[in-house]
Amino acid sequence: MLGRAHSLREIEGGLKSCEGKLAHLGIEAPARSSLSYANGHRPWELFEKVFYGLFETVAAKAVGKKKFRFKNKLVSIDSTVIDLCLSRYDRAKFRATKGAVKPHRVRDHDGYLPCFGIITDGKVADVKAAHQMHFAPDTIVADDRGYNDYRLLAKWTQAGVYFVTRMKGNTLFEVVEDPRAAEPEHPQGPDDSSDRDMDGIDLDAVAALSATVLPFRLEPRQPRRAPAHESLHPS
Residues 97 and 118 sit within 8 Å (Cβ to Cβ) = no
Name residues whose C-beta falls within 8 Å of residue 191's C-beta, 6 or more positions apart in sequence: 223
pTM for this model (two decimals): 0.64
Contact 158, 137 (CB under 8 A): no
Indicate the domain borders of the chain: 32-234
Distance (Å, whole) CA 167 – CA 164? 10
CB-based contact 145:167 (threshold 8 Å):
yes
| pLDDT, tens digit only, all 235 positions of the chain | 466 777 888 888 888 888 888 888 888 888 889 988 988 888 989 988 998 898 888 887 776 666 666 788 999 999 999 888 877 777 787 887 788 899 999 998 887 888 888 999 888 999 999 999 999 999 999 999 889 888 898 899 999 999 998 888 787 777 777 766 655 555 555 444 444 444 555 555 434 444 455 666 666 555 554 444 444 444 4
pLDDT of residue 233: 46
**pLDDT value of position 206:** 38
The pLDDT value recorded for residue 170 is 80
* Residue 76 confidence (pLDDT): 94
CA distance 179 to 220: 12
pLDDT at 138 (0 to 100): 93
79-99 CB burial, b ≥16 within 10 A, e <16:
beeeebebeeeeebbbeeeeb
- Does residue 235 contact residue 215 with C-beta atoms inside 8 Å? yes
